[in-house]
Amino acid sequence: MSLSATSPTGFEATLSARQSPEHLRASRALLWRERLTSLWAPLVVIGLAYIPYLVLIEFVPESAVWSQPLMQALAGGMLLYFLGLLLWRLTVPRARVLRALRSEARELLDEVARIHKRVPGKISAEASVRLAEQAMQVEAAIVSGEVPRLEQETRAFDALATQLLGVWRKQDTWEVISGFAKAFAVAVVIRVFIIEPYRIPSGSMLPTLEIGDQVFINKYIYGVRLPYTNYVPFQIVRAPARGDVIVFNNPVQTDVDFIKRVVGVPGDTVELVDGEVRINGVPQERTLVDADLIVYNKHDALGWFPEHRRLYEENLSGKRHAVLQDAPAARTPHEGPYVVPEGQVFVMGDNRENSSDSRYGLGTGLGVAFVPYGHIKGKAMVIWMALGHGGWLSGLFDGTGLRTDRLFTPVR
């Protein structure tokens, strides 16, 4: 094989030309073994399944009846898989050492390849070939799994790279920093514009959402807010609708995020008569499900404590959901009417007598307060984690444990 006086592709060309089919097959097999034994593998599997699950339950809500148990079973299997991998890593020291050496060797190979791409024409053909020949020795040692050999070949490659590429190796540090910066930017974009986690801090949305539930918020469905503003330049999918559970910046206490249910949209007149919601004079159907339901709330000083409530199923413009109310004698007989202004929504908690919502100034107690569209961060979609009353290991953490029964529950 002939190379010109300078060869921008000399390193990769020489490396590719000298890799035998057997070596390539062994490298691919090793790569898949490492992927499957990575601690990230169970998380990647869950993530890949989670995306179609979110789409499915959002557009075909009734599919949650069968898809949620499947996701819970998959999560349980991946948890066992993760624990098995962790146990294997802790009990097999050689595997841990070999994994670290392989990672170091691959980072060095990637660094040399990046430098060749960054400074084409400046590295001599002879230097590229020498580096490629030593890189072949490193790759062969990676596949062999022999720790002393891999360590020796990697050190030799590192020394050769320093000798032939020393000045450019120092510059490569900035590329690594740039790579981290790009990854951070992607994470920020996802969190700001696509999806964001939110933890339920109080019992105002019981029984739909319990304290300690962690939900994912759809950030784009109503339109993307410009960062550090309460301005939504345009609508993407649709406007907030009655029955949606939304997370929003409290317009009265701007440093606090709330999660409530949309009850009234622009132009609606909302009132409550003996606990029954009426929209534009039309009573919203509700059915008593349990006259004495026990739910668990939490106080910072008292910890978990039981509450007795009446459980209803409410049909809010075709969207059925659970609500809690006090016994009739303890209710406020009439609330409202509240006329919802343009560009705003009227919200209430599902725990109707224990919620700082639009009826009570969103926590201020200073009269009605509506939520402007620009303050809405997004729509709650699904519970992805639940650390609440009861569950796994609750005896060790003052009653708080992992609630596997609530994992992947759609927010309705």
Enumerate the β-bridge partners of residue 324.
311, 351
**Which candidate in 7, 67, 204, 356 is catalytic?**
204
Question: Three-state DSSP class for 49?
Answer: helix
Neighbours of 120 (CB within 10 A): 12
| Omega before residue 207 within 30° of 0, cis | yes
| Omega before residue 337 within 30° of 0, cis | yes
344, amino acid identity: Q
d(CA 395, CA 25): 51
Q: Apex CA 28: angle with CA 155 and CA 30, to 5°?
A: 60
Active site annotation includes 358: no
Kindly give the pairing relationship between strand 286-299 and strand 276-279.
Answer: unpaired
φ/ψ of 398, rounded to 5, equals 55, 40
Tokens read off for 157: 């490659």
What are the residues whose beta carbons fall under 8 Å from the beta carbon of 335, sequence distance 6 or more? 271, 272, 359
Question: Three-state DSSP class for 101?
Answer: helix
Active site annotation includes 20: no
**Which candidate in 219, 260, 377, 379 is catalytic?**
260
CA atoms within 13 Å, Cβ hemisphere of 284: 28
Cβ distance 45 to 164 under 8 Å? no
CA distances from 338 to 242, 266, 332, 354 (A): 15, 11, 15, 19
Where in the sequence numbering do the catalytic residues fall?
Answer: 204, 260
